Structure 1
Amino acid sequence: MVRILVAGAVAASLGGCATLPTPACLPPSQPMLSAELAFGRNIGDRLGVSDVEFARFVAEEITPRFPDGLTVVDSVGQWHDIARGRLVRERGKLVSIVFAENPAQRAALGEIVELYKRRFRQHVVMVAVRPSCVSF
């Protein structure tokens, strides 16, 4: 039941992307969406998701959903653990994806989040989506 509620919350939050304003882009740029996904790598208080495991996750789950390309960057993040009353710092991966507005691809972001959380016993994956002007 909790998974259904979480999946619904993710879908609802990503559904808000439909209301993002389309920017006025100067040629040759085109309006697209930019998504950043922040993946923590700790399991408990220890590094649990290795570089090899993350690369496998990208190859198996992210790349098939976004075959046009993406960028992966090593990161160090922090968040406030309310339950334990302390600041937690952890190594992570930041994935940037640029794509044309498409309900299927917005849904794919939610799928990626849920798959990562299940596979690596994570509580959250941060997702930020914003309109962008992009040229290649």
Structure 2
Amino acid sequence: MPRHIRQLFSACIATLTVSVLMSGCAWLPPQACLPPSRIMVSAEMIFGRNIGDRPGISESAFANFVAREITPRFPDGLTVIDGDGQWRDSARNVDVRERAKVVLITFADDAQKHADLVAIAESYKRQFSQQSVLTKVGNVCVSF
């Protein structure tokens, strides 16, 4: 094999090796759980409690929202945690600090449950004049 072909071949192999190494987690197998755990979906929803620049969503109003909107969609259980948060209002170029509620929900993967998360966020935004509800979803290993 001519020398320039060998050099080209070596360069291609080096490039391929670097590409594979830099791809990181893309080459890992799907998440596996150690028994007795199983893969489920974990959702974390963060609900701000200000209305405009003022505190406005009371404990009872939030509890009623959970009872009416979240519990019927996720009757197997959830956790509500009090929080203090902040976010950047880019329109006004200011940091906004507010009380928050964090709702943790774990469920078997199901398209309807994912749609329920969206419906909950949309209902909260409409009912309490909110710009957004942060929703984070991912797979986790769970055992009960």
**TM-based fold match above 0.5:** yes
Gaps of 5+ in 1: 1-20
Tell me which amino acid in the other structure corresponds to 1:74: D
CA spacing shift, 1:77–1:105, aligned 2, 3 Å: same
**1:54-77 CA deviation, whole Å, 9 max, x = no partner?**
000000000000000000000011
Give me the TM-score of the superposition, normalised by structure 2. 0.79
The match for 1:90 is 98
Counterpart pick for 2:134 among 116, 126, 129: 126
* Whole-angstrom distance in 2 between the partners of 1:103 and 1:135: 22
Contact preservation (8 Å) 1:22, 1:31: no
Gaps of 5+ in 2: 1-28
The structure showing larger relative contact order (alpha-carbon pairs under 8 Å, at least 6 residues apart) is 1
* Whole-angstrom distance in 2 between the partners of 1:92 and 1:80: 15
> Within the alignment, does 1:101 sit opposite 2:127 as a pair?
no
Higher Cα Rg, which structure:
2
Tell me which amino acid in the other structure corresponds to 2:111: P
CA spacing shift, 1:119–1:67, aligned 2, 3 Å: same
Counting aligned pairs with the same residue, the percent is: 59
The match for 2:3 is none
Q: What is the deviation of 1:23? A: 1.9
